[in-house]
Structure 1
Amino acid sequence: MRKIILAKVLLISTLFLIVTPAAIAAQLGDRVLTKGCRGQDVAQLQQVLNNKGFWSGYADGILGNKTVDALVKFQKAKGLKADGIAGFETFSALGVDTSYRGSSGRFSTRDVELLAKLVYAEARGEPYSGQVAVAATVLNRLNNPAYPKSIPEIIFQVVDGHYQYSPVLDGQINLVPDETARRAVVDALSGVDPTGGATTFYNPSKTSDQWVRNRSYVTAIGNHVFSK
């Protein structure tokens, strides 16, 4: 009977994971998870907690009170800071592999593919130099202490309730990049930076956001303005 009930729970959890809108394509370990976060990685966290006996509710991809409570109980059981926030130490205790994180100029295949997805989502159709430039701005953020210290955390960063990159919000980050986008990332990783140090970019015809428009202008390539 217990096996039947468990099977039903897992089935329902899987169904929730499939039908719940989760535009955020982050994998578990890509970013720090706090109350209110939504996405595929949250659903994965819920499944891991449930499998370890810390019931966090169905895997709906929404980090609410029940998931926070489960996190706190897990953290207490492991002797961690019981703050209900899933960060590096909690991921390690959960057995989540975070070894992909880029550091000291070394990047994994996963980092490169994620960056290529961003380039493809943001700049397909732009000149090749513009695609390299988009990748370079992410790497420039990586070297700037004002930004997170891994490619996934930069791409999925939320500031004042807003995602830094619109493809993360609208789901285009899930698109499979083409070889041009991948090649642009490789060039950027090799040190090519057509922007000369820009950390952000925008399309003037598609955004009225004053924060990005008020940044220091560096250059324009194709339809994008690059700034610091």
Structure 2
Amino acid sequence: MRWAACAAGVGLALVPMTGSAQAQEELEEVQEARRTLLMAMPGTPVSSIWGLVGQLGIGVEHAVGSYVALVGSVQVSGALQGTESLLPGGSGSSGQTWGVGVDPGVHFYLTGRAPEGLWVGPHLELATYHWTVQNEYLMGRPDVPLSEGDLVTVETRSRTVQYGGSVRVGYTAILAPGLTFQVGAGLTALSSRNTNFGTPRVEGGGAATDVEGQQLLGSGFGPNNIRNWSVSPRMTLGVGWAF
């Protein structure tokens, strides 16, 4: 009787342990299944002739090991902007902007298990932006007031190409049942080249202002290609789902 009672007691004691072990295995299986992140990522604003143009992107991250994940995002931007003159029929400007960029990289996880925890890693950056601008000018004549002068429209187009890289450190949190938040910060170094392409076009004004319009084109535009480089902080935010 004593041996039977002891055996029954041991069996009852093992039941919770078995249940706890099964729960732990199920939790590990769920964590193992979450190897990929899909996130919406607002991008760093792009500097334009009017100010800053916002961006929105889609990012994906996939763990290729316990502490390494491959990442990448595609950013798109677009804007319609313009100004108007205070004078009726006066000068003004309008423009359209669109762009696309890619941002591949690698994350090395210092804590946790990829793709969750504290990470650090390099990124490559490549983007192109296109600008179309229409500027309106009042071309005066000696025999009429300026407000009654001829209205000339000058259209120009340009393209900016940026390439470089960045180093970032960040943290990715995965909450049940899969909601994901990611934040990162670092430094980026970019080289940019701006190119005016196409021939600036003059509309309106008539024969009397054709010469003035051509002078305006000749004096209002600088070099065809402008190159520069910059080093600046980089912030990234993401919210999405892990699966």
Using the size of structure 2 for normalisation, the TM-score is 0.22
Greater per-residue helix proportion: 1
Structure with larger Rg: 2
Using the size of structure 1 for normalisation, the TM-score is 0.23
Greater per-residue strand proportion: 2
